[in-house]
Structure 1
């Protein structure tokens, strides 16, 4: 499983140096992204390099798991009540329906919530710093960490699993 690591850089040039160091350490280009104040993102950061602004994808995954579990549990409880006549197939169908509804509702809520990195480091972003976000497994992340810090980037206290890795 990949872990998300965040580094603060003073400007785009330093952020690019950090990205180059991460690539040289073996981090895939798709696992690198940047977060900055809106005016900086619009002017200086290419679209493919920007990190998501919302919590949409992680929220959908959480909803899928939570809704599926709740639906399956409800189906199994319904199976235990004989007058309802629910079969094992009915319990599985209830689990699938719960997963769909959970993913949909959580995705809608996540679309209106800021990304957790943005929430955690809003002060850094507001001050004009550019955040380099790296998603990597533990071994690769440790190598990349040393290389990125050597470029002058400051590691920030954010070591959380990547939701969709």
Structure 2
């Protein structure tokens, strides 16, 4: 899956695009709209916390850093003199898993309170009243979706396409 980002000038145009995307068999759960705080989106699919925050990248980073730290702590623990080889494997596995768990949990908590890094470049346009639309599509449909969007907004530039989208929404 790839995530396509584009800006729409108003709610009316955004509704037309979302309706057209629905006709193209893009489920509503794969369309996310972000608007200025206080803007009524009516029946448009609003982006949730996972799209608005840095939660998923933070969990991924915390998992990697925490796992590496746990592995290092496990290696230090088995390097101490009273370690036996049977116990050493269990200690190494336990510290790696504990480090990965704690790292992903703490990073996720922090990431929920940080705005999405990928959306930061659109903040000025959103504050000016434009709507940011994120559409999750398979890689082979990106060109088709871009052309459908350009039917409604010929001047639109698809701002960014993410190479991958997390498996869970």
TM-score normalised by length of structure 2: 0.80
* 1:164 counterpart SS class: coil
The one-character-per-residue Cα deviations of 1:50-79 (angstroms, maximum 9, x if unpaired) are 343322233223322332233234424544
| Cα distance in structure 1, aligned partners of 2:157 and 2:53 | 22
* 2:81 counterpart SS class: helix
CA positional deviation for 1:137: 2.3
- Map 1:3-22 → 2, pairs under 5 A: 3-22=2-21
Which piece of structure 1 moves more, 56-65 or 88-97? 56-65
Match of 1:83 in 2: 81
Which piece of structure 1 moves more, 12-21 or 60-69? 60-69
| Cα distance in structure 1, aligned partners of 2:157 and 2:62 | 31
| Cα distance in structure 2, aligned partners of 1:84 and 1:147 | 67
Is 1:23 matched up with 2:22? yes
Count residues with an aligned counterpart.
161
Structure 1 residue runs without a partner (length 5+): none
Match of 2:105 in 1: 104
| Cα distance in structure 2, aligned partners of 1:21 and 1:49 | 17
Which piece of structure 1 moves more, 46-55 or 119-128? 46-55
Match of 1:49 in 2: 46
TM-score normalised by length of structure 1: 0.82
Partners of 1:63 and 1:103 within 8 A in 2: yes
Structure 2 residue runs without a partner (length 5+): none
| Cα distance in structure 2, aligned partners of 1:66 and 1:141 | 33
Match of 2:67 in 1: 68
CA RMSD of aligned residues (A): 2.4
Query: Aligned in 2, Cα 1:61/1:163: closer, same or farther, shift over 3 Å?
Result: farther
Match of 1:147 in 2: 148
Partners of 2:33 and 2:45 within 8 A in 1: no
The one-character-per-residue Cα deviations of 1:78-109 (angstroms, maximum 9, x if unpaired) are 44x25252511211111111111111211122
